[in-house]
Structure 1
Amino acid sequence: MLSHASAMGLPVPQGYVILHEAWQHALDANLAVRHQGTVEAPDAQRLRSGLALPSLPGPLAVRSAFSSEDGAAQSQAGFYATCLWVDAQDAGQLASALCEVWSSGHAETQRRDILVMQMVDAKVAGVAFTERDYEDDLVNYTSGTAQGLVAGEVEGEALQLLKLSPGSRRVTAALTEPWAIRLQELLRAVRCRFGDCDWDIEWADDGTTCWLVQIRPVTRRTRRNEAFTIANFKEILPELPSRLMTSLIASCADGLFAYYRAFDPTLPAHRPLIEVFYGRPLFNLSLLCDMLRHWGLPTRLVSNSIGGDVDRDTALHLPRLLKSAPALLRLSASQFNAVAQSRRTGRALVERAQQPGDTFAACMDTLQELFTSLVCQMLALTGAMSGPLLLLRRAGVLEEHHARQRTDATEMFIDLAPLRHLAAHRPGIRADLERGRLPADTEFRQVWDAFLAKHGHRGIYESDIARPRFREAPETILASLLHASEGRQARTAPTWRGRLTTPLWWYASRAIRARENLRAQAMRGFEPVRERLLALASEAVARQLLPTLETLWMLDIDEVRQLDQGWRPSSDFLAQREQEIARLSTLPVPDLLHRFDDLQSTLHVNTAPDNGRWTGISLTAGEVEGRAWVLREPATALPDGFSPDQTILVARSVDAGWIPVFGCVRGVVVETGGDLSHGSIILREIGLPAMTNARHVTQQIKTGDWIKLRADVGVVEMR
């Protein structure tokens, strides 16, 4: 391939190939002989003249180019000998180098071609992988020659280089080394000449030219140190989700990214959208950012959508945006129709869930269908609302409009008001609630039954199928009825900006309502699947396949399927699984991590601001002071000495399952979230003073700390 590269104008050192047939001739003519597994040249000058080797100026690199080295499915690069700085005028050195390379091949069936090229006096050299599925090229480099790097003897340094598009003159702004810019241009030239495929390239830079010294197809895709975020899952799942739900979500990864590939088949085909780290499902943030970069869109749109941090912020790229216009138009058309489609999807989800199946395997299939359909439709709705909400926030009217919005989740908050009123004004009801009993009062029971009929399918961290629904476990809601805060802000009169942006809000609000109502419909569908799973688990307990019902949630989906065949997890298996779950539960996974991060090394990093002040995203207006109540999971029994009107909830994330808690506090500070997060939408609609994306607050603020929340500017301060 190097000869083709040279013919195409790429910078390739002068050289030639000694074919396998020359090796055979050398043996037949006794120019070279085998002795105890090695090859020797009895007469170096005779070997050189017998092979009629061309003359090249300067020192040489003598390298293997064996047939087994660059196979289509497997590469053995670095397995065979390479000799550098061989004196071209010294027949003895050249013969010795040829024999050393020939000797490094042991299979008789392989061709033993040898590549001889002019030596590059490299200041920097290395290996680069350019792959279709990535927007950056992966580079490993070292000073001097890269022989040790290629052979795996030295680690070298790693670098991600932005791919240059054909005709583009842009280079990565952070590049200060001229060799890196020259390498960037060489890799672009390789793609232009050989096609935008996956290439494994060896290169050497002599200070003025970056030389191509080897090119071969990538035989095994690289495993890169990609960035992952727990931000969106942190909002809807418990701190450590059940093993079953985590594995189910991961199993849907390909189907979820297929949503985007349906609009643009040129998007990555072999990178999973979701992977599991430390027992938690995490979104591949690098993949999502690469998708936006591929389309020429700014990567900050990812954090605006799902919250959390972006590993690297890149700006709008107009040429790429124009090139991606057809795919983006198809995506936009889908988002425009997303509201109507979501209604059909919601009905289909509920209908599908009514027949979850009679086996564990069938229930797993049903859950995968429900989850994939739900998330794909949510992606469309999120895309439909993201642009308008960004414009409304910039216009300063987002909170004004949202305060008048009502979705299924906020109706739950509103529907608790009659129950709170009864608890506040009837001593008998309050006494029953204080004893942890469901009040027997007839009117209370009527209102309560109506509430459960409407909202009983919801629950705390309801997206985890292992979590009970409110219908099964109403204790949190009942306890919340004992507390009532006056934290909601009064609605303000419409402003002129609000009136001007009403059409834009109308478009966004349709998607917001559709998304939240679709989630409620999906949870209505999850309930019968959960009921069927519990019934099957009860049968498995009776057959002594499982020790308890709760054991089911400790298994992954493949293990659950095996229960249909009578598989019985051993006591040792379950003990090890319990130990693993206990260990994972102690690990506070950061919002942003990289594949090769050592989590233990990041556990004690001090992330507290020096001034006791945290900033984030303002969700509502209002300024309140009070005691911090730091919660990892929803609870409604206030700590001793706390009063609802002087309590500020501080949580890692919130969703519909936290609604009972919102009635017990004056304000809310959320660690992770964005404008489009479910919890953010609920808090804006309820009207509590609230902010989100306040980084690390649950680690640095303690329950009982006196804090001041300035929700209108997105600031929380220690007092």
Structure 2
Amino acid sequence: MSYYGTLTGKKERLWLPLGYGGAAKYGIGPKAALLDVARRYRLPVPIGIILVDEAWRRALGSGLVRRHDDGSISVPDPSRLVFAIGFPNFEWELPGPFAVRSAFSAEDGEAQSLAGYFATRLNVDGRDPVQLAEALGAVWGSAERHQAQLGALRRDVLIMRMVDAKHSGVAFTEHVHADDLVNFTEGLADKLVSGAVAGQSLSLPKLRPGEKPNADLPAWAQRLQLLLRQVRRVFSHKRSGRDWDIEWADDGTTCWLIQIRPITRPTRRNEAFTIANHKEILPPLPSVFMTSLIASCADRLFAYYRAFDSALPENRPFIEVFNGRPYINLSLMVEMMRTFGLPSKLVTDSIGGEVERDYPANVWQMLRKAVPLMRFGMAQLFAVQTARRKQRRIYQQTAQTFERFDQLISAAQRVYTELVTGMFALTSAISLPMLLLRRFGVLEEHSLRTRSIATALYTDLAPLRQLAANNAAVRAALQRGALPDDPTFRAQWERYLKKHGHRGIYESDLARPRFHEQPAPLLSMLLAPSTERKPPRRTLKGLLTLPLAWQANRAVRAREQLRYHAMRAFDVLRANLLRLAKRAVQRAQLPEPDSIWELTIDEVLRLDDGWAPDAVFFAERTAEIARLKRLPVPDLLHRFDDLERDLPPEARSPHLRGISLTVGEVVGRAWVLHEPTQTPPPFEPPVILVARSVDVGWLPIFAQVQGAVVETGGDLSHGSIILRELGLPSITNVRAATRLIQNGDWLHLKAGQGLVALEGASSS
């Protein structure tokens, strides 16, 4: 095959075969040069040639093409131009039809792709000089209108055989994602690429070396998986530092690479997010302040995992805010599990929530990631000791004088990060022994014998409850909602508050008052009979699993102890924030101290500089908070969901399933609560609590019910551990329970089976 033409009367190299390997050496731009490399490395690139810039310049100089004032290009004698360029024989050397495409030097660069700037002509018959010359003129001429913006540029042209595409589209392969993002359509992708049609989207799992395509995918998608793996092998991110935007076409037997260009801006994908354990530890609508504080800690929180493996993505959001609530990036967590070769179910078992697709364990990937997994395992092994160090660091953050909001916010961010990263390690340390105890059927036997600082919040009330039972004056005062004057009661009460008064309902939100500020929920517990169950007899299986139980309980106690001390720090931070807020009120910056919780942390920082939001600002913020309260709070959502319109209606089901926490059956009325209340149950016992989430702040309610159904929470969530330790018949992770069950409905709770049946609707 000759590479030479005779535009100037002598032989010149005017075109190169695609795959020749010398495109970059000739100064040809990235669009053609990258395909040249790909074909040289035997990637499936259609046969073709690169018509070099010299052909354009010689044709223009010799009058074979003419440039007009309106920016168009004409070819007076197509046959003469085609002959002079010296194209290969389009009958047998390079049979068509062809795509004639720009490959100009300004295209597909690292800073900008200029996608769609220049012309392409499809289905060109190379045997017809008129068609070929018209296509060349259109492509060369498409540079004219951008000449002023881009300056002089090479006008190389790609001539590639057309693919008879059954499916085609665009794929983005980015090193920070475990899946490739694919946009596809049937037939040719020209309308898809131009934006004329939307096409369909698909997340395609990346294939690692040695892995086979996913059998549940269509054949074309399996071939695309193989092609994208080849692209990553040849154009590795480690070597090039780039991610790739790929155009492809599948003809039913081969998936062809049509174009490859660097991704100039990272994609923003429709990732899945879960509210998961945020739903457990935060109120239905957290304060604006706390939501922004949590979101500001996202990078620090995910840095905990990156310390084990620096290959984990650095710039993907771990937490995002939707409808005023902080959501965890479930896609990122699942991809992290896949990177380590671990089953994705570990994520939902730890924090609750749902995953759209379960990925099983991958032994080969675990072997590849043996070193990071060993680091991860060591962190779990020493999680209890690490938690003690974190407790000391948490106290150091509050052992200072705070005179500015920036000092307080910085301390709050560090305390929150220390708390949550400590929870990560301890939760991981608990998960395996807890899973085994459940499998062996002895989890309840051991849980009822576990005593942590969280259950002490309940059990330490026993002397006060006994005093109320034996002293009519104390009991009468409590029934009036007053604090009894009895000196013995007061002394015991002060001791109790000194130990537990820094705890509270939804205590993870700094905006929420602590029990020493609002003790009424605790006082109401003193009139309720104890619901604590005696542990069952030891079984042989229970005795044999004592080492496992000891390991789990050690980590459980350490986790609750860490939270206990972190909440002491929260109490100090809250008091100081309100103290500085009172000063801001005196300076006419805030209408009242509690207005601080209606501001984001960035807005609070502006108070240090003298910013004073006006009444209109707070009126609008109050209206926005009221609007957010009315919006749905799905457990699982995607980034691009329209939460006010796109959520599917959920039909009432006579049976709901969840995770069993304890054994026991209860038939009773549903008491649907969205947060704890001081009002006693509106029904006679037995009463079954139905709540979106629970934590230590719900202990006053647990004392008044005979069973519990909880929407969100895994085996290892705080509320689940407390319910197990109390032995209250309960199940968790019952999706949409508070929407499907109405207050007063008759329920049959079968806690041991993880089942709740709706026996009948409320008649009142």
For 1:12, the equivalent position in structure 2 comes to 45
Which moves more between the two structures, 439-448 or 567-576? 567-576
Q: Cα distance, 1:259 vs. partner?
A: 0.8
Amino acid at match of 1:606: E
| Residues 166 and 192, structure 1, Cα contact 8 Å, conserved in 2 | no
1:178 corresponds to 2:211: no
Give me the whole-angstrom Cα distance separating, in 1, the residues matched to 2:401 and 2:661: 39
Pairing of 1:461-476 with structure 2 (within 5 A): 461-476=506-521
Amino acid at match of 1:11: P
Which moves more between the two structures, 13-22 or 44-53? 44-53
Pairing of 1:254-273 with structure 2 (within 5 A): 254-273=299-318
Amino acid at match of 2:544: L
1:246 equivalent among 263, 266, 291: 291
1:30 corresponds to 2:70: no
Flag the 1:356–1:690 CA change in 2: closer, same or farther, 3 A.
Answer: farther
1:146 corresponds to 2:189: yes
Pairing of 1:108-187 with structure 2 (within 5 A): 108-169=151-212, 171-175=213-217, 177-187=218-228
Give me the whole-angstrom Cα distance separating, in 1, the residues matched to 2:286 and 2:723: 24
| Residues 488 and 666, structure 1, Cα contact 8 Å, conserved in 2 | no
Which moves more between the two structures, 394-403 or 423-432? 423-432
1:695 corresponds to 2:739: no
Q: Cα distance, 1:602 vs. partner?
A: 4.6
| Residues 17 and 113, structure 1, Cα contact 8 Å, conserved in 2 | yes
Q: Cα distance, 1:149 vs. partner?
A: 1.3
Q: Secondary structure at the match of 2:669?
A: strand
For 1:385, the equivalent position in structure 2 comes to 430
1:327 corresponds to 2:372: yes
Q: Cα distance, 1:699 vs. partner?
A: 0.8
Higher RCO by CA contacts (8 Å cutoff, separation 6 or greater): 1
Give me the whole-angstrom Cα distance separating, in 1, the residues matched to 2:621 and 2:267: 31
1:567 equivalent among 603, 611, 626: 611
Give me the whole-angstrom Cα distance separating, in 2, the residues matched to 1:667 and 1:86: 74
Give me the whole-angstrom Cα distance separating, in 1, the residues matched to 2:645 and 2:289: 28
| Residues 627 and 704, structure 1, Cα contact 8 Å, conserved in 2 | yes
Amino acid at match of 1:276: V
1:598 corresponds to 2:636: no
Give me the whole-angstrom Cα distance separating, in 2, the residues matched to 1:600 and 1:174: 33
Flag the 1:603–1:155 CA change in 2: closer, same or farther, 3 A.
Answer: closer
1:718 corresponds to 2:732: no
- CA deviations 1:3-34 (Å, max 9, x no partner) are 11111111111112223343333332222222
Larger radius of gyration: 2
Give me the whole-angstrom Cα distance separating, in 2, the residues matched to 1:130 and 1:624: 53
Give me the whole-angstrom Cα distance separating, in 2, the residues matched to 1:716 and 1:221: 45
Give me the whole-angstrom Cα distance separating, in 2, the residues matched to 1:711 and 1:207: 53
Give me the whole-angstrom Cα distance separating, in 1, the residues matched to 2:320 and 2:482: 43
Flag the 1:604–1:438 CA change in 2: closer, same or farther, 3 A.
Answer: farther
1:65 corresponds to 2:103: yes
1:447 equivalent among 492, 504, 519: 492
For 2:658, the equivalent position in structure 1 comes to 616
Give me the whole-angstrom Cα distance separating, in 1, the residues matched to 2:284 and 2:77: 73
| Residues 520 and 678, structure 2, Cα contact 8 Å, conserved in 1 | no
- CA deviations 1:629-676 (Å, max 9, x no partner) are 110001131144x34x42211111101111121111111111111100
| Residues 632 and 644, structure 2, Cα contact 8 Å, conserved in 1 | no
Q: Cα distance, 1:306 vs. partner?
A: 0.4
Give me the whole-angstrom Cα distance separating, in 1, the residues matched to 2:594 and 2:104: 58
Q: Cα distance, 1:178 vs. partner?
A: 1.6
Q: Secondary structure at the match of 1:200?
A: strand
Q: Cα distance, 1:575 vs. partner?
A: 2.2
Give me the whole-angstrom Cα distance separating, in 2, the residues matched to 1:702 and 1:100: 68
What runs of 5+ residues in structure 1 fail to find an aligned partner? none
1:104 corresponds to 2:142: yes
For 2:715, the equivalent position in structure 1 comes to 675
For 1:41, the equivalent position in structure 2 comes to 75
Which moves more between the two structures, 398-407 or 348-357? 348-357
1:709 corresponds to 2:754: no
Q: Secondary structure at the match of 1:142?
A: strand
Q: Cα distance, 1:62 vs. partner?
A: 1.1
Flag the 1:364–1:551 CA change in 2: closer, same or farther, 3 A.
Answer: same
Q: Secondary structure at the match of 1:244?
A: helix
1:91 corresponds to 2:132: no
Give me the whole-angstrom Cα distance separating, in 1, the residues matched to 2:219 and 2:735: 37
| Residues 139 and 161, structure 1, Cα contact 8 Å, conserved in 2 | yes
- CA deviations 1:569-616 (Å, max 9, x no partner) are 23332222222211111112111111122222355612422xx22221
Q: Cα distance, 1:533 vs. partner?
A: 0.6
For 1:236, the equivalent position in structure 2 comes to 281
Flag the 1:42–1:569 CA change in 2: closer, same or farther, 3 A.
Answer: farther
Q: Secondary structure at the match of 2:608?
A: helix
Q: Secondary structure at the match of 2:645?
A: helix
Amino acid at match of 2:348: S
Q: What TM-score do you get using the length of structure 2 for normalisation?
A: 0.91
The root-mean-square deviation of aligned C-alpha atoms, in Å, is 1.6
- CA deviations 1:466-490 (Å, max 9, x no partner) are 1111111112222333333x54333
For 2:112, the equivalent position in structure 1 comes to 74
Give me the whole-angstrom Cα distance separating, in 1, the residues matched to 2:656 and 2:178: 34
| Residues 79 and 151, structure 1, Cα contact 8 Å, conserved in 2 | no
Amino acid at match of 2:200: E
- CA deviations 1:413-440 (Å, max 9, x no partner) are 1012222233333332233233332221
Give me the whole-angstrom Cα distance separating, in 2, the residues matched to 1:591 and 1:659: 24
Give me the whole-angstrom Cα distance separating, in 2, the residues matched to 1:659 and 1:638: 13
Give me the whole-angstrom Cα distance separating, in 1, the residues matched to 2:573 and 2:360: 44
Flag the 1:699–1:62 CA change in 2: closer, same or farther, 3 A.
Answer: same
Pairing of 1:486-497 with structure 2 (within 5 A): 486-497=530-541
Give me the whole-angstrom Cα distance separating, in 1, the residues matched to 2:308 and 2:345: 21
2:347 equivalent among 270, 279, 302: 302
2:474 equivalent among 429, 443, 446: 429
1:191 corresponds to 2:248: no
Pairing of 1:607-686 with structure 2 (within 5 A): 607-609=651-653, 612-640=654-682, 642-643=683-684, 645-686=685-726
- CA deviations 1:505-559 (Å, max 9, x no partner) are 1111111110111011100111111111101111111101111222211111111
Q: Secondary structure at the match of 2:171?
A: strand
What runs of 5+ residues in structure 2 fail to find an aligned partner? 1-33, 760-764
Which moves more between the two structures, 75-84 or 338-347? 75-84
Give me the whole-angstrom Cα distance separating, in 1, the residues matched to 2:444 and 2:250: 56
- CA deviations 1:32-76 (Å, max 9, x no partner) are 222212222222223323433344311110112223321212222
| Residues 507 and 514, structure 2, Cα contact 8 Å, conserved in 1 | yes
Which moves more between the two structures, 45-54 or 525-534? 45-54
For 1:516, the equivalent position in structure 2 comes to 560
Flag the 1:428–1:192 CA change in 2: closer, same or farther, 3 A.
Answer: same
